[in-house]
Amino acid sequence: MPSAVDLAAHPLTTWQGPLGLPDFTRIGDGDFSGVFDAALTAHEAEIEAISGNAETPTIENTLAALELGGEALDHVSSIFWCRAGAHTNEAIQALERDISPKMSRHFSAISMNERLFARIDELYQRRDALKLDAETLRVLEKTWKNFVRSGARLDAAGKKRLAAINEELSSLGTNFGQNLLADERDWALFLDEADIAGLPEFLKSAMAEAAEMRGQKGRYAVTLSRSIYEPFSTFSERRDLREIAFRAFTMRGQNGGATDNTAVVRDMLRLRAEKAKLLAYASYAALKLDDTMAKTPEAVHKLLDPVWEKALEKAASDQIELHRLAAEAGSNEEFAAWDWRFYQEKLRAEKFAFDESELKPYLQLDRIIDACFDVATKLFGISFEEKQGIATWHPDARVFIVRNADGSERGLFLADYFARPSKRSGAWMSALKSGYKLGDGSRPVIYNIMNFAKPPEGEAALLSVDEAKTLFHEFGHALHGMLTEVTWPSVAGTSVSRDFVELPSQLYEHWLTVPAVLEKHALHVKTGKPMPKALVDKMLAARTFGAGFATVEFTASALVDMAYHARPDAPDEPLRFEAETLERLNMPDTIAMRHRTPHFGHIFAGDGYSAGYYSYMWSEVLDADAFAAFEETGDLFNPALAERLRKNIYAAGGSKDPEELYIAFRGKMPSPEAMMAKRGLV
C-alpha cells in the first residue's frame, strides 16, 4: 500500500548514494510500484493544496508551487524511465505497462483541474500588472497555454474523453516500444567463418561478441543494432546475407504475432486525430506545431520539399554509378536496396582512395569521449573528472563530475555506451535531474545512452565516423542540459521547442572533424600515431559523399510523419498509406526509409517527435549557419563567439523565444542554402 512507503527515506526518492546520485545498490525492481503509488498520492496532495489555497493567486503560491511540486515523483520517474530504456527486463516492462496509463491519468487530472487552472488563468489575465521578469512571464504564458492545449477549457464530457485518449495513447506508445525491442532482441543471423568474407576485423570482433552474448561462442552474429547491421550491409560480400539482414531490419515491428505494431499505429493515429479535433485544431500536426518555430505543416513542407527534390536528383545520379560498379563486379542481379551500402562504399574507395575501415582504427571510443570533453573545455571552460566504482543502472555506465572553470562542481554526466539485449536501440540524452535555480535549486545530472558494439575483453571499442558523430551529437544535447542557467525548471536545459532542441546537438557534431581535434584525438589504436593528413583530407573531402542516399532515407521519414499527422483524419491502413505516400513522392525502390512506420520509435514509441521528425533538418539549417559564424572569424574556438553561444543557446534553455535567442547569438536568422550546401545537394 502507498502508506507503507516512507518517501522521505526511500532510496528511489531520497538520493543518498555517492555524489548525490541514487544508491542503485539499494534499488530493486520490486521497489518501483509502491513508490510510484505513494509519490502519485503525495503529488495529488500538493496539487490539492495549491488549487484549494484560499489566498489570492501569486507567482509564489501558484506558479512556483506547481513547478516545484512532485519532487518524489520526479525522482522515481527519472530512475524508472532510465531503466526502461537502458536496462529493462520482464518485470520492468510489466511495470511500464502499468505505470504509463497511471501517469497519463495523473497528469490529465492536473491539466484539467478547474480550480488550478482558474488560479493560473487569474495570474495570466493580470500578467502585465504583475511586472514580471522576462523568464517568469514566459513561464506563465507557456503554462497557461499548456493548460489550454491539454483541455482545461473543455466541458466535462470533453475532458473525460481527452483523458481517456491520453491514457490509451500512453499505453499504446509503451506497447509499440516494447514490441520493437522484442523484435530487435530476438532476431540474430548466426554465421560461421566461411560466411564472413570481406568483413573488416572490427566488425568480426563485434559480431563474435554479439554471438557470445547470445550463447553462440565461436560464431558470428548479425544483429539489428545499427552498429552491426550497417557495417555488415556495407562490407559483406554475400549478397544473399545482406538481403536477409536488410529484410529483417526493415520489417522490425511488422512480423505478425504479438509484437506486430500495425494495429498499434492505426489506433494511435486514430486517437491523435480525435484529440486534435477535440482541441479545435485542424490536424494533429497543427496541434503539435503550434508551439514550435515552424508553426504550421505548410512551413515544414516549405523546407522539406525542395530538399527532397534535390536529394532525389542526387540519389538518381549516384545510383547510375553504383549500377556501373555492380556490372563491373559481374553482378547480373537487378540492383536492390541491400546493394546500396555495399557498392556505395566501393564508390567511395574509387573516388577518394579510402574506405570506412581505414578510419576505424583512429576512432577509439575513449579517445572520442576525450575529444568531446576537450572541445567543451575549449569552448565553455568546463572540465570532466571520471569517478570509478560508482554503482549505476548497469556496470557499463560511467560517471563524471562536471566542473566550472573555477573548479566548482556544476553537475554530473553519466554515459552508457554499449549495445545489449536489455537496451532499446538508438542513442539519446536524458536527465536524472534538471538544473535550475528556483527554490533551493538543483544541479543537473545528465546522461547519454548509445548502442555501440562492445569489443571483446581487453580490446578497444572502435567507432565509425557516423558513430563518432552520434557520440558528439548526444553530448551536444548533454551540454544543453549541463550548461543551463535558468531559474524555472520547465524551461531548463532541453525544454525548448522541438525544432530548436536539435541545434545544440547538431552544431556540436561540427567540432569532431576540426583538423586540430582530429590531430589530437584520432590516434591509431595500435601505433598511437595521429590520423595521417592525407587520410584526414580524404575524409573531409568525402563528407558530402552519399548525400543523396542519406537525405532521401531521412527526408522520406520526415515526409511520411507529416503526411500521417497533417491530415484531419487517420488512415484505416497506415502501411498502405505509407506505401502510397512514398509512391506519390517517387521514392526510389532501392532506398528504404530510415525509419519505416512499424519501427518509427521517434513518432510512435511515445509522443516526442510525432509531427516533428522534420525538426532535425530544421535545426540543421540553424547549425550550418551557426558553425559558419565560427568559420567566418577564422577561429573555430573564437572565445567571444563561444561565450555568445553558451549564453544564448546552451545556457538559455527555453527562457526566451528560440528565434530571439538565435538572433542574439548570430545577429540574423539563416536561410536553408547553407544546410543544402553542407549536405552537398547544391
Asked if the model's pLDDT at residue 3 lies above 60, the reply is: no
pTM score: 0.94
Q: How far is CA 177 from the centre of its chain?
A: 14
Region of 227 please: left (phi>0), alpha (psi -120 to 50) or beta: alpha
Say what the pLDDT of residue 356 is: 81
Phi/psi of residue 223, nearest 5 degrees: -115, 175
Cα 201 from Cα 671, distance rounded (Å):
43
Give per-residue pLDDT as tens, 287-303: 999 999 999 999 999 99
How many angstroms separate the CA atoms of 197 and 342, rounded? 13
Please state the domain extents for the chain.
18-152, 187-251
Give the mean model confidence (pLDDT) for residues 371-398: 98
Beta-carbon count within 10 A of 421 CB: 16
pLDDT tens digits, 112-134? 999 999 999 999 999 999 999 99
**CA dihedral over 503, 509, 511, 513, signed as positive or negative:** negative
Strand partners for 190:
221
The model's confidence at residue 615, banded by pLDDT at 50, 70 and 90, is very high
Q: What architecture is domain 18-152?
A: Up-down Bundle (1.20)
Q: Count of residues for the chain?
A: 682
> 416 — phi, psi (to 5°)?
-130, 105
The predicted-structure confidence for 341-383, as pLDDT tens digits, reads as follows: 999 999 999 999 988 889 999 999 999 999 999 999 999 999 9
Question: pLDDT tens across 622-654, in order?
Answer: 999 999 999 999 999 999 999 999 999 999 999
Q: Which is it for strands 445-452 and 409-418: parallel, antiparallel or unpaired?
A: parallel
DSSP letters spanning 252-293: TT-SSGGG--HHHHHHHHHHHHHHHHHTT-SSHHHHHHTTSS
pLDDT band at 83 (very low <50, low <70, confident <90, very high): very high
Active site residues: 474
Mean pLDDT score across all residues of the chain: 96
User: How far is it, in rounded angstroms, from Cα 314 to Cα 61?
Assistant: 58
Q: Is the pLDDT of residue 214 over 70?
A: yes
Average pLDDT over residues 491-497: 97
Q: Does residue 2 register a pLDDT over 80?
A: no
What pLDDT shows up at residue 682?
83
Angle at 667 between CA 661 and CA 670, to 5 degrees: 85
> What digits encode the pLDDT tens for the residues 244-279?
999 999 999 999 999 999 999 999 999 999 999 999
**How much is the pLDDT for 4?**
79
What pLDDT score was predicted for residue 355? 83
Report the pLDDT value the prediction gives residue 84, as an integer from 0 to 100: 97
